Chains A and B, each alone.
Chain A
């Protein structure tokens, strides 16, 4: 038997010397962490699907909800989020190129590609901030409850508000004053609080003013919840032209509070059912936090690369491990993108 034991030396057996799956301990643990993290995200997205599936109200549609572009305004469905997705994919590519450079012990290559990855990551986090800002802020028209009790979202180009001319003096403004500042903000606040009655706005100081406003263009109401007259059925849910304008302003200038909702927060939501906003904030927030921590980890590892720590060690496995995490963040976004924006 002695011959046998000699053949099975420590190189052949594990004996604590060869890692399982020929993978290092660190990489293996990173994979196990990612599996558990993927289960968290899977659970979140499935609970989103659960809520969407049993919801009786119409669920928001991605291209109707997300259609703004920086510097260009509204009317660009899904374009910005497509750009975000592209940025994240490209930063994933630069990361894998950094890993490849590490395998050739090319320290300069690793540094450059990692810096590119970090820049891409910052762009993505910034974009998500911008997206949240728009989501919270809402559209210029808001969601409106029409006179018959139906609820509609509104599309079109909002005519600019030129000024408020004071018709009845209050504590602060005199009759005949022309107010030109902070118009949109004041207008939306007054509309939501029911302080606009028949085109006359009541300001904070109790004065009343008439509104000078340009005409809206292509105003379209999309009925999301049926009322007595307007139905949310597929064929009839869109109301356009003069009728849409009449219905919208009748409701907006009704003088009743809470007829219009601008934007979304944890209490109200312009775009659809309240749960939608909760899931949006939680899932994209959770993902955004992953991206942010990924950027921080990338920066730390990049500093290590610049300092030559991994070069001295003889391998760039740390870059590979952060790479795994970074690709995972990209992977999650692929699913968030599909379930929140496309479907």
Chain B
């Protein structure tokens, strides 16, 4: 029996040709941006050696560029930017709370363990 009490699909799912063109333009823009960022990362990684004095700066640049790429993938490709505000929060906030805490505790512990290992070696 067909059920008529369920709305299967979210409301803003179909769009016309004109809106499609607009969306495609945005997709191509993001594609170029992601490619460019990858090229920059690889060139930096291949040219600057890890014993160079500016390496820490390069490392942070990599992290920022990675988060930028991730942001564009999640917000544009996965359409999270087009979803309702609270859906964004429900997905991102718990994740970041867990992950930031885990990063903090792991690096903190690793530093402590390393100091012990160094002391006894």
CB within 8 Å of B: which residues of A? Answer: 16-19, 21-24, 27-28, 31, 35, 38-39, 42-43, 46-47, 49-51, 53-56, 61-63, 77-79, 82, 85-86, 89-90, 92-93, 95-97, 99-101, 103-105, 234, 315, 317, 320, 323-324, 327-328, 330-331, 334-335, 337-338, 341-343
20 residue pairs A–B, Cβ–Cβ below 8 Å? A21-B90, A23-B87, A24-B10, A31-B91, A39-B98, A42-B99, A46-B102, A49-B107, A53-B111, A56-B118, A78-B42, A79-B46, A82-B39, A93-B31, A96-B77, A103-B14, A323-B78, A328-B78, A334-B73, A338-B63
B7, B13, B41, B73: the one within 8 Å of A331 (CB):
B73
Known: A24-B8, A342-B41. Contact between A56 and B31, CB under 8 A?
no
B81 close to chain A: CB less than 8 A: no
Central interface residue in B9, B30, B69, B86, by most chain A CB within 10 Å: B9
Bound-complex Cα distance A266 to B73 (A): 34
Q: Mark B18-41, 1 if CB is under 8 A from A, else 0.
A: 001001100100110011001101
The CA of A79 and the CA of B45, in the complex, are separated in Å by: 10
Q: From A105, which residue of chain B is reached at the shortest CB distance? A: B14
Do A89 and B66 contact each other (CB < 8 Å), given the known contacts A49-B107, A104-B14? no
CB-based contact B11/A331 at 8 Å: no
Complex Cα gap A104–B21 (Å): 11
Number of A-B contacts (CB under 8 A): 163
For residue A38, give the distance in angstroms from its CB to the closest CB of chain B. 6
Contact B63 A103 (CB under 8 A): no
A42–B7 CB distance below 8 A: no
Q: Which of B53-112 contact A (CB under 8 A)?
A: 59, 62-63, 66, 69-70, 73-74, 76-79, 83-84, 86-87, 90-91, 94-95, 98-99, 102-103, 106-107, 109-111
Please indicate the chain A residues that have their CB under 8 angstroms from the CB of B6 in the complex.
16-17
| Chain B residues close to A by CB (< 8 Å) | 5-17, 20, 23-24, 27, 30-31, 34-35, 38-39, 41-42, 44-46, 50-51, 59, 62-63, 66, 69-70, 73-74, 76-79, 83-84, 86-87, 90-91, 94-95, 98-99, 102-103, 106-107, 109-111, 113-114, 117-118, 121
Q: For B91, list chain A residues within 8 Å (CB).
A: 31, 35
**Given A35-B94, A93-B27: A22 in contact with B35 (beta carbons within 8 A):** no
**A23 CA to B121 CA in the complex, in Å?**
57
CB neighbours of B59 from chain A (8 A):
343
| Docked-complex contact A327 and B73, CB < 8 angstroms | yes
In the complex, the answer to whether B17 meets A92 with C-beta atoms within 8 Å is no
Other 4 A-B pairs with CB < 8 A, given A50-B109, A79-B46: A42-B98, A103-B14, A335-B66, A338-B62
What residues of A have a CB within 8 angstroms of the CB of B69 in the complex? Answer: 334
